[in-house]
Amino acid sequence: ALLQVTQAIGSQIGQFIQRKEAEDKVAFLAQFDIITDLPNRFLFTDRLDQMLAQSERNSWSVGVLFVDLDHFKAVNDTLGHPVGDLLLKQVGKRLLSCVRHGDIVARLGGDEFAIVQTRVRDPNQTESLAARIVETVSAPYEIDGNRIDIGTSIGVTLAPRDGTDADKLLKNADLALYRTKDAGRRGFSFFKPEMQEEIEARRNLE
């Protein structure tokens, strides 16, 4: 009888552990990217909102950088998605190596990453970070015996200069990214208000 009780207790403990592990996994997937372990879009937006509130209290700026990998689709098409996933992991690590403690690096989806640079006193700090990312991410990769050369295009916006709302800042950074790609990729552009007017004019023309 004692053995049966012990086995029953052991079974209940095992079920509890499995349930707890499943709950932890669900909670992780709700906030983090499964490939890179970086924050996902949901958590990134939440933390950006927190940083914007802190910046308002402390009178510093916040840099938002929208990072897109150049020619990533070609890697998936020629070498396969497993190699593409390994490349995304390495890109995530390189981005983390570029930022300071307290900055945020996230994967928004596909080959799109985003960074929040906190405690910005001078726009030159954000410009230096963008240049460092272009150089670091564009260096060759060695994955499964393959040498992979990709570049990166970046769109940059600053709060509160360009806005104080997370969604607006991401939209601004996306517009600046579009300008970088239009200029030939592998570089970065800062958001300017006239970019929205240019996009709308082009859409109307099309």
DSSP sequence for 53-78: HHHHHHT-EEEEEEEEEETHHHHHHH
In the prediction, which pLDDT does 30 show?
78
In the prediction, which pLDDT does 206 show?
78
Name the more confident of 8 and 115: 115
Say if CB 119 and CB 57 are below 8 A apart: no
| Range with lowest mean pLDDT among 21-35, 53-67, 110-124, 144-158 | 21-35
Q: Using the predicted structure, report yes or no on whether residue 10 has a pLDDT greater than 80.
A: no
Q: Using the predicted structure, report yes or no on whether residue 177 has a pLDDT greater than 80.
A: yes
Confidence of residue 67 (pLDDT cuts 50, 70, 90): very high
In the prediction, which pLDDT does 11 show?
67
In the prediction, which pLDDT does 27 show?
58
Across residues 7-26, what is the average pLDDT? 63
CB neighbourhood size of 36 (10 A) = 21
In the prediction, which pLDDT does 190 show?
97
pLDDT tens digit sequence for 180-205: 998 888 999 999 988 877 777 777 78
Which of the residues are catalytic? 111
- Separation CA 47–CA 199 (nearest Å): 29
In the prediction, which pLDDT does 130 show?
97
Confidence of residue 49 (pLDDT cuts 50, 70, 90): very high
From residue 47, alpha-carbon distances to 13, 58, 63, 108, 172 in Å are: 36, 16, 13, 13, 18
In the prediction, which pLDDT does 195 show?
86
In the prediction, which pLDDT does 199 show?
73
In the prediction, which pLDDT does 17 show?
66
Q: Is 178 helix (H, G, I), strand (E, B) or coil?
A: helix
In the prediction, which pLDDT does 4 show?
64
Q: What is the mean pLDDT of the chain?
A: 89
Q: Is 96 helix (H, G, I), strand (E, B) or coil?
A: helix
